[in-house]
Amino acid sequence: MTAGDPLFTTVGEWSQEELARSLYGDGLFIDYGACTVRVRSRAPGFTAAFRQVYRHFAPVRNADFTDFHVEIDPGKGVRRWLKPQSRFLIDRIQPFEPFAASHALPHYEWGLNWSFGQRFNQYVLLHAGVLAHADRALLLPATPGSGKSTLTAAMMLAGFRLLSDEFGVLRPQAGDLLPMLKPVALKNASIGVIRDFSAQAELGPTFTATRKGDVAHLAPDAASVALVRRPARPALIVFPAWRPGVPLQLEPQAPEQAFIRLAFNSFNYGVLGRISFEAVADLAAACPAYQLVYSRLDEAVACLRQLLDDQGGPA
């Protein structure tokens, strides 16, 4: 393995020129765990930002099958030079309006999330952060604004394996969770919070004044990427809610409460019908569930570590 051989090294070991050539040409095949994505881009500025937040990923060589074919395109004609844009294409179709060219990386990340949520219905997709210790998984289902991404990022930085910030990929028959490993999208004040939380945080550039405010992406750590194909068994469900200045509060949730909240925080519960009903019901019945209200990340991380350790059992 040498840094000069792009077939065997991680994205961060490629030179920016090598990476740009691949993205401009046949594209890169990225293994996210539950799926593989072919990404191509000619958008200025995309390559450098992508290299930062995907630094630990090793592109797949000779992928037999690719689930998603995605492009970030700068457009054609005079538009490329006057008010440059970023166009997200999946299977050569543009599903929504362009972003500013300077926001090409967040455009890619949001477009990919949209694609997963719309087209990936062989699994039950829960809107949840997912982390694991000894292959026992902690699910953090939450609505936007609950502090889910910040807490998920902090848990990874505290030594937990990251499976996903956004998608709890539940296999209905097996009952386990697959990684859907992407950079963690942090918004506004959360960027500084995570930067202060750990000196090990590998943050990409901050994109200001996007459609969701200021955004930066935290690169998944090398240990999580190395196990991108390894599922985890659900052990604990915690519904987080960040509240400024409040003491930590932990309240058990009955299985029927957990079921309703999991179903509500699902991308495709209604689409899958009985399959999702049974899978979510089994999950709610099998795992202890809690509501966690917190204001301090260190307290929340310590609490979740103890809760997961209390589940015990073999790995």
Instruction: Evaluate if residue 83 carries a pLDDT over 70.
Output: yes
Residues 6+ apart with CB under 8 A from 288: 236, 237, 252, 307, 311
pLDDT of residue 6: 47
pLDDT at 164 over 70: yes
What residue numbers bound the domain in which 297 lies?
124-311
> Alpha-carbon distance 60 to 52, whole Å?
18
169-203 confidence digits (pLDDT tens): 999 999 999 999 999 999 999 999 999 999 999 99
pLDDT for res 8? 55
Q: Is 207 left (phi over 0), alpha (psi -120 to 50) or beta?
A: beta
Residue 56, both tokens: 């630990």
Q: What is the C-alpha separation between 231 and 135, in angstroms, rounded?
A: 7
Q: Do 241 and 306 lie in a common domain?
A: yes
Phi then psi for residue 9, to 5 deg, are -120, 165
Question: Which one of 77, 95, 119 terminates a domain?
Answer: 119
Q: What is the pTM of this model?
A: 0.93
pLDDT top residue among 2 and 108: 108
- The per-residue pLDDT for range 43-55, each reduced to its tens digit, is 888 999 999 999 9
Residues 99 and 181 in one domain: no
**Out of 107-121, 146-160, 198-212, 300-314, least confident range:** 300-314
State the pLDDT confidence band at 2, using cuts at 50, 70 and 90: very low
- Which two tokens mark 313? 């059992």
Q: Report, as an integer, the average pLDDT of 120-129.
A: 96
Q: How many domains does the chain have?
A: 2
Backbone angles phi, psi at 291, to 5 degrees: -100, 125
Which residues fall within 8 angstroms of residue 218, CB to CB, at 6 or more apart? Answer: 53, 153, 156, 183, 184, 186, 194, 201, 202, 203, 204
Average pLDDT over all residues of the chain: 92
Q: How confident is the model at residue 157 (pLDDT cuts 50, 70, 90)?
A: very high
Whole-angstrom Cα distance, residue 172 to residue 278? 8
Domain-terminating residue out of 102, 119, 136: 119
> Are residue 89 and residue 143 in the same domain, yes or no?
no
User: What separation, in Å, do the N-terminal and C-terminal C-alpha atoms of the chain show?
Assistant: 32
Domain identity same for 107 and 196: no
Q: Compute the distance between CA of residue 30 and CA of residue 238 in angstroms, rounded to an integer.
A: 30
Judge whether 284 lies within some domain: yes
- Are 280 and 262 within 8 A, CB to CB? yes
| 309 close to 134: Cβ distance less than 8 angstroms | no
Let me know whether 103 and 129 are in one domain. no
**pLDDT beyond 50 at 15:** yes
Tokens linked to 306: 């103890």
Query: How much is the pLDDT for 3?
Result: 40
Is there a single domain that holds both residue 41 and residue 98? Answer: yes
Residues 209, 163 within the same domain: yes
